[in-house]
Chains A and B, each alone.
Chain A
Amino acid sequence: MQQVQQPINRRGFLKLSSLTSAALVLGFSAKAGQDILAAGDAATAFNLTPFIIIEKSGKITLMSPKPEMGQGTYQSVPALIAEELEVTLSDVTIQQTNGDPAYKGQVSGGSFSVRSNYLPLRKVGASAREMLVAAAAQQWNVVVTECYAENAKVYHKPTGKSLGYGDLVETAAKLPVPQSPTLKDPKHFKILGKNSPRPDIPLKVSGQAVFGIDVEVPGMVYASVAHCPVFGAKLLSYSDTEALKQKGVQKTVRFQRMLGGKNKYDAVAVIADTYWAAYQGRLALELHWDYQGNDKFNSKEYEEGLRGLAKTEGKVVHNQGDFDKSFEAAPLKLEAFYETPVVSHSPMEPMNCVAQWHGDDKVEVWVSAQGPDLVKGELSGKLGIPRENVKVNIFFNGGAFGRRLYPDFATEAATLAKAVGKPVKVVWTREDDTQLGPFRPMTFSALKAGIGADGKPVAFQHKVISPSLGATMDEKRNETGESSNMTEGISDQKYELPNMKNEYVFSPIHIPMAAWRSVTSSTLAFAHECFIDEMAVKAGKDPMAYRLETLLTKDSDCKKVLTKLKEISHWGKPLPKGWGRGVAQYEFFAGLAGYVVEVSIKKNNSVKIEKVYAVIDLGTVVNPDTVKGQIEGAMTMALTAAIKDGITFEGGQTVQTNFHNNQMVRINEIPPLEVHILAEGGTSIKGVGEPGLPPFAPALANAVFAATGKRVRRLPFDLNNLA
């Protein structure tokens, strides 16, 4: 196996020009909007967008449209082709696509990579297989039905003779492309549904995996950028006298960081021979900022504002029955207010990018980002050049979690490369990464429920009060447009809640906010599922039984998940004294998962997480071990967001700077976890990367309540001090 993502050595599409004419390339036609398959040899390679390239030498390249950021798409997406093509991933070269629109969506996000490609890419693989089999039959002059493909060869059943794929490409390339190839019966799958090793792992345990930050191009210089930590400040003037005295520093460049559709931030870059020299130069800059009043901004006041707004009427996003009347008439009433923090993405690889201009209007970038197409679009828009003039090389992402959907760092590198007339590598510090955003926004939730004398719900309301991530990025996105994003999932849970009226109250903020793994569900699930627990308590019911018997009388995937959780966690079995267990699930655009968490009370108001059970519902699973890993990771990230610092603002700037005051959960804090995957087939496939996140915090908080009687309604909270 090899990694094609080599810096400098730019293979990719250029490689096609050096192919011999004998090659089979297969993919979707480049004709806009058409899904038909087309094949050809190297002469036509440029009008095709091949997912599969088989060269006469036998070398097989599979194109992977979804950047790898830890979620496993470097295996799970090409596996869809490999399964049908009858090749193993260890025998092929996997190559990241470059943003050519003919590949369609190439963004890793929304937990969509496998589910959106499950049939289309299998079809690509199956078509190639049928062509290769037909080519062999033609070369041997036998009937196709006597031939079959296995392990990159076509065999003739009666005689046992075989030909490698490379020996068949010349013939195959001239054959018509099957438009409705026969897909394999899942019971014959060799890769899909199995625990398959990920081809990126050997690279990642040996220091050979290439991340964006590892790229070097000839003649490259380094940039370290001073941004004002106060959002919305204006640079009045600056002095680079001392900076220029630093050895290796070449020059400074004043420019603007551009983030999203509307944010422009004054900045000064120091250009130098090495990263260290650039960074030293940056520290020596004298910058004079006009904060424009933005240094008055702080989290405390902003949060107080959100609490005030909770009393106002919001935009109704869901209305069924008559909430107001039913709530008024309910014999039991319950109200609660929940709060969550702003958090950072903090991928381990700080933001960085290498950019180089080829002439005045063509730029090339080497970058860790969540989609080559989104980088193309961003650079084209920001730099005012056509999309086709932007060449994007995507590398392994050293974590992303949504942060690398916003390629402001690529625009920075391109802007600076233009200004200095050389290739430039921009590397952010951890402080830049922690302080400059964009961040996951907080959401506050006001919840109300009316409960009947029989314990059944008669009225329900979840009102969300929050800034909107979209509105901080784009002027055109306003309260109305954002109300559905910011109330994600709250009206879609399977619970049978009559007379439900959900609302959204928008609160503007000038600090950039962004999607963060599992987006708004990452915070709303906490309020929603803790409140469901409060309802169970008010109704005098066990929280699991209340969900399963009172709120979910009809069959649903949600009910299946909770039933499985009940079984694997031995829910009914008594726990040791001082222990408690909690449950939560959440269903949203990315998929569906649930947790049972067990905690025990320790001394001094502290609580220990003893055991975690997770169930994720997928329908169809491609790599169970990857799914398990994603749940392990989602739990860890959710735990950090639930119990660690979070991001706060004072004096208009981010208080947290690095991992000492923006702490991440560490190895000693991870509880044992048991994961169960529900994969009972069916047509719908749910996502993997995000669903494991939202239900963890509420399951934990519900367990804390069960053990201690203390209801946690604000995140983050301190497991070691519940007072």
Chain B
Amino acid sequence: MATFTLTVNNKAYTVDADPQTPLLWVLRDHIGLKGTKFGCGMSLCGACTVHFDGVAMRSCTLPLAAAVSAKSITTIEGISANIDHVVQKAWIELQVPQCGYCQSGQIMSATALLKQTPHPTDAEIDAAMQGNICRCGTYLRIKQAIHRAAELMHNGHATATAGAE
């Protein structure tokens, strides 16, 4: 065991854990942020996606020892204070989730995409979102919702209030 300090959603946490523990389990079981999900443990499904200094990253294979090099880590809980990130708004408007289990990861990938590419094409959405599996099959709505979020941003909606990024 060793002690590490992490900044998650603008808050500093000190955790005592095996340095090889994937960030996913640190977030879920040490820090208590359960919104980030375990899906595959091999970076194959994207359910565990978080932002590592603003970049979408799979937390299930990222050891704590490496995660501490991030200046900031953002999880689904950190993207807005009132469920009002444009991506969340678009997701609600289009009623995207079904079971919802993969959606934290989908939303973290989508927000990272829109930061890089404010007006993604279908092909750019496919490329950015291909790492996120949705077994319920909400892909058509995810695609529509990303376009809708881009539109909301373009129309001057603030990305979110009090998000961690």
B136: chain A residues at CB < 8 Å are 70, 348, 399, 633, 636
Q: A199-218: contact bitstring with B at CB < 8 Å (1 yes, 0 no)?
A: 01111111111110110000
Interface-located stretch among A157-165, A263-271, A273-281: A273-281
Choose from B33, B97, B98, B126 the contact partner of A667 (Cβ within 8 Å): B126
Chain B stretch 86-100: residues in CB contact (< 8 A) with chain A: 88, 91-92, 95-100
Q: Which of B51-59, B75-83, B150-158 lies at the binding interface?
A: B75-83
In the complex the two chains form, is B125's CB within 8 Å of A667's CB?
Answer: yes
Interface size class of A (residues with CB under 8 A): 35 or more
Please list 28 pairs of residues, one from A and one from B, whose beta carbons are closer than 8 Å in the complex, sorted by A's number. A69-B99, A70-B99, A200-B100, A202-B83, A205-B96, A206-B77, A206-B88, A207-B33, A208-B35, A213-B38, A247-B18, A274-B29, A347-B101, A348-B101, A349-B37, A349-B99, A350-B38, A396-B99, A398-B101, A399-B136, A430-B41, A430-B42, A632-B138, A633-B136, A659-B42, A659-B44, A659-B133, A667-B139
Question: B72 at the A/B interface (Cβ < 8 Å)?
Answer: no
Whether B18 pairs with A203 at a CB distance below 8 angstroms is no
- Name B's interface SS: loop
Q: Are B95 and A668 in contact (CB under 8 A)?
A: no
Given contacts A206-B83, A276-B18, contact A399 B101 (CB under 8 A): yes
Among residues 317 to 355 in chain A, which have CB atoms less than 8 Å away from a CB atom of chain B? 346-350
What residues of A have a CB within 8 angstroms of the CB of B44 in the complex?
430, 658-660
Further 10 A-B residue pairs, CB within 8 A, beyond A202-B92, A205-B103, A399-B136: A211-B100, A276-B25, A347-B101, A348-B99, A348-B136, A629-B141, A634-B137, A637-B137, A659-B42, A667-B126
Query: Taking A198-B95, A633-B98 as contacts, is the C-beta distance between A348 and B45 under 8 angstroms?
Result: yes
Most buried by A among B21, B33, B136: B136
Chain A 422-444 near chain B by CB (<8 Å), digits 1 or 0: 00000101100000000000000
Contact code string A624-664 (vs B, CB < 8 Å = 1, else 0): 01100110111111000000000000000000001110001
Q: Which residues of A contact B80 (CB under 8 A)?
A: 206
Taking CB atoms, residues of chain A closer than 8 Å to B67 are none
Alpha-carbon distance A248/B40, docked complex (angstroms): 23
Judge if A187 is at the interface, Cβ distance under 8 Å. no
Query: How far is it, in angstroms, between the C-alpha of A659 and the C-alpha of B91 when the chains are bound?
Result: 25
Is B73 at the interface (CB under 8 A from chain A)? Answer: no
Q: Are A201 and B91 in contact (CB under 8 A)?
A: yes
Q: Which residues of A contact B17 (CB under 8 A)?
A: 274, 276
Q: Does B142 contact A (CB under 8 A)?
A: yes
- B139 adjacent to A636 (CB under 8 Å): yes
Q: SS class of chain A's interface: helix, strand, loop or mixed? A: loop
| In the complex with contacts A201-B95, A633-B138, A667-B139, A659-B18 CB distance below 8 A | no
Query: In the docked arrangement, what's the CA distance between A665 and B34, Å?
Result: 26
Given contacts A197-B92, A200-B100, contact A276 B21 (CB under 8 A): yes
Q: Please list the 7 inter-chain residue pairs (A to B) with the smallest Cβ-Cβ separation, ordered nearest first.
A: A207-B35, A636-B137, A398-B101, A204-B100, A70-B99, A70-B98, A633-B137
User: Once the chains are docked, how many angstroms separate the CA of A664 from the CA of B83?
Assistant: 29
Shortest distance in angstroms between A71's beta carbon and chain B's nearest beta carbon? 7
List the B side residues contacting A629 at CB < 8 Å.
95, 98, 138, 141
A188 interfacial contact with B, CB 8 Å:
no
Asked if A466 is an interface residue, CB under 8 A from chain B, the answer is no
- Which of chain B's residues has its CB closest to A210's CB? B34
Contacts of B103 in A (CB 8 A): 204-205
Q: Does A491 contact B (CB under 8 A)?
A: no
B133 touches A71 (CB 8 A): no
A247 to B17, CA, bound (A): 10
A205 to B133, CA, bound (A): 16
